[in-house]
Amino acid sequence: MKFTALWEVAEMAHKAPIEALKAKVVQVGKQFTGNSNGKDWTKQEVVLTDGQIEVKVKLWDKDLVPHTWKGREATLLSHSGECGLSGVYAFNDGGERIIKVTQTGNIVLAGGAGQEDGGGQEEPPPPRQAQRPPPQQRPAPQSQRPAPQSQRPAPQSQRPAQPPRPAPRQQEAPPPPKTAEQIAAEDKANEVKARKAIARRVHLMFECVKGASYIAEQTVVQSGGVLQFASTDVQKVAVSLYMDCQRDGLHHHLPVTFKGVAPQPKGGAK
């Protein structure tokens, strides 16, 4: 008789028969009874362990397993007939791997009925132990490896002369603090620069408004008066032109002053 280890159940195929299995009972559930299609049935669950893992066992149409079995070793036995083994199976129950015992299978206490003499029985395999991989020799650190012949340092007499090291740079002295006149001059220059930038943008908006008005006039003329532009439409076209031109940086190419708009800002024209 071949005993299956408890940990092997998880690796067996669904509904694979188990000839024999021995493990300790750690839980004993209540037995339920019922009748289906005029046939009485019983169902009870117990939990077995090998000291490392636990597996649920569902007993169908079997005698009651009493709570006194808890803490004792039990053996599951299949029936061997003309069609092979039956009664004890590895079973998938809703995604959980369990052991299913049907009417032709049996569960007894170890050394109980059917196991008195133990003749022809193999000892159950021990629980699987976590195997550690054999230690591997680590390669020697790079600093301890012998360098190839081509990378070994040349003798002192064969080494090329080292170029002279550059003289260290002298730390530059910090610039002298600015005078009040210099600060005022910089502020004035920045003010002039800002005014020129604003003037160029005003010039750009003026040109965009003229372009939008021209577009509106030509649209009315070309459509024979069918298409009309409202003042809000002209404003939208002008704003769109302005944003496109400013994004492309075209306002930098416009003069600071232009005909019919604001006077030249202080600081002079472009």
* Whole-number pLDDT of residue 92: 94
* Whole-number pLDDT of residue 114: 45
3-state SS class at 73? strand
Phi, psi of 268 (to 5 degrees): 95, 160
Question: pTM of the entire structure?
Answer: 0.44
CATH level 2 (architecture), domain 6-109: Beta Barrel (2.40)
User: pLDDT for 191-232, tens place per residue?
Assistant: 988 888 888 888 888 888 988 899 988 888 888 888 887 888
Does position 116 have pLDDT exceeding 60, yes or no? no
Structure token pair of residue 31: 């037995």
Does position 161 have pLDDT exceeding 90, yes or no? no
Does position 131 have pLDDT exceeding 90, yes or no? no
In this prediction, residue 75 has a pLDDT band, given cuts at 50, 70 and 90, of: very high
What does the domain layout of the chain look like in residue ranges? 6-109, 181-253
Q: What pairing do the DSSP bridges indicate for beta strands 96-101 and 54-60?
A: parallel
Q: Tell which wins on pLDDT, 120 or 32.
A: 32
